[in-house]
Amino acid sequence: MNAFLMYRDRDFDLKRKLPWNAPALTQDLGLETLFNAMARDDKFLLEVARVAVLSGVNDDLATVLYRQAVLKDCLRHADLVKSMYDLTVETIDSERKIFWGIFGRHPDTILHRAVDVLEMFVGTLTKLRKFADQYADDFASEGFKAFFAMLKRELDDAYFAAIQTHLRELQFRSGILISAELGEGNKGAHYMLCRPEGKKPHWLKLAFGAKPPVYTFYIADRDESGARALSELKERGLNQVANALAQSADHILGFFTMLRTELAFYIGCTNLHEQLRQMGAPVAFPLPAALNERKLSCAELYDVGLALIVGRRVVGNAVAADDRTLAIITGANQGGKSTFLRSIGLAQLMMQCGMFAPAESFSANMCDALLTHYRREEDANMNSGKLDEELGRMRAIVDHLTPNALLLLNESFAATNEREGSEIARQIVSALVERGIKIFFVTHLYTLARGFYDQRRAHAIFLAAERRADGERTFRIIEGEPRQTSYGEDLYARIFAHDADGNGR
């Protein structure tokens, strides 16, 4: 049995290797805030959220839409899905509590524990089957429809009747029947556990009826060697069935473990959705486009991490950048440029793992890698200068670039003077854009931004942090020609502005 709630045809791999730049993405985009909101102090939900968001599906557009449909069902039936998730958690915890005993490696102990585990599993599987019978018609997604259909098909009445019969027989209330053959040197061989005889005859027949010729021997109470030999015979007969039963229990446990893992992703999404809706922040299911397209358009796109930190709705932005491969963002300090850049990266990651986006609307092409190059603090060990460190990280990024990557640059190459930094950035950005890499670049390098703007490149869009005449920041990002980035005007207005009498303030 398979859940198939994350992929149409395979299981979700919680142990998969994360992208090489996962630490940088986590730091630059503030992903821990997102993960913690999804987890709500649950360590397992935290682990699933981290792997699912950071790994994404990259080029699999169909899987994104598949997960979106499943998530919509989860949001519509949050209580039902949470009940199903709780059932998997309870089942896994119950399996761990069933005692192995001090002879856990013996076939007899393995068999009896497997029987106890399977009896517990039968109860849980019965609840799952009833859940499918009651609620299957309420779910619309392909994923849940296939899941409930599988439960009805695999867990029909005949299955439960057969497994109950086998479990009763494996209690061995009438003793154990084992067959064997004489092997080489008259040693026992081909030990096999046999089905017990059918219905036991009436006691009168047992007492007075003709008895078949059998040979019986009894072991004395103090005959330890005889008891040990008999125990070894019993274990040889039980060995195969004990292993088979233990494998069956492991198989069902694996199903519950996978179901818990895949439901955990959607529980995390539901937790996040609830928090955002409570603060009045908009969410929308994005419209993903194919890898080879260049799409990005959004309305009221906001930094979900910032909203979670301040606990209220934050300023969103609208951008229409379809068919653009380069976006250069300039403007006033503390005007929202870096926040906007984070919102782009977060929305892209959330879209590519099948989540909703923090926006009123969001549409973008899939990317096969998301990379960030943000300004870092000075190297405390003084092993290299800031520019050398920036160039080293850029080289690592170039080594991992893919044809349809998305690169977010935040104040890169500002560790040197304006002219040198602009020239370095111009050469790198020009080369990457020619290869089709989509780039969003927040920069203070006016020479760089102005140079690209004057070229009137059709594939480029220029955005700026809005600053009103009185210096007020609206934290809106608007389309417009590059702007100088400086505190100069604000400092002048604050320190040297004069009142109506001409006195300095």
Neighbour count for residue 159 (Cβ, 10 Å): 14
Query: Can you tell me the mean pLDDT for 97-102?
Result: 64
What would the pLDDT profile of 348-390 be if each residue is shown by its tens digit?
999 999 999 999 999 999 999 999 999 887 655 545 578 899 9
Residue 322 makes CB contacts below 8 A (sequence gap 6+) with 294, 295, 296, 297
Give, as one character, the DSSP assignment of residue 336: S
For residue 396, give both structure tokens.
């690592």
Burial 43-81 (b: 16+ CB within 10 A, else e): eebbebbbbbbbbbbbebbebbebbbbbbebbbebbebb
What's the whole-model pTM score?
Answer: 0.85
Yes or no: say if 161 and 175 are a contact pair by the CB < 8 Å rule.
no
Q: What is the pLDDT of residue 244?
A: 66
Over residues 308-317, the mean pLDDT reads 96
Are 127 and 91 spatial neighbours (Cβ–Cβ below 8 Å)? no
> In percent, how much of the chain has pLDDT > 70?
80
Torsion of CA 150, 151, 152, 155, to 10 degrees: 120
Do the beta carbons of residue 157 and residue 141 sit within 8 Å?
Answer: no
Looking at per-residue pLDDT, the higher value among 87 and 194 belongs to 87
- The single-letter code of the amino acid at 212 is P
**Domain 282-495, CATH number (from 3.40.50.300, 1.10.1200.10, 3.90.1300.10, 1.10.150.120):** 3.40.50.300
- Concatenating the DSSP letter of every residue in 20-46 gives TTHHHHHHHHTHHHHHHHHHTT-HHHH
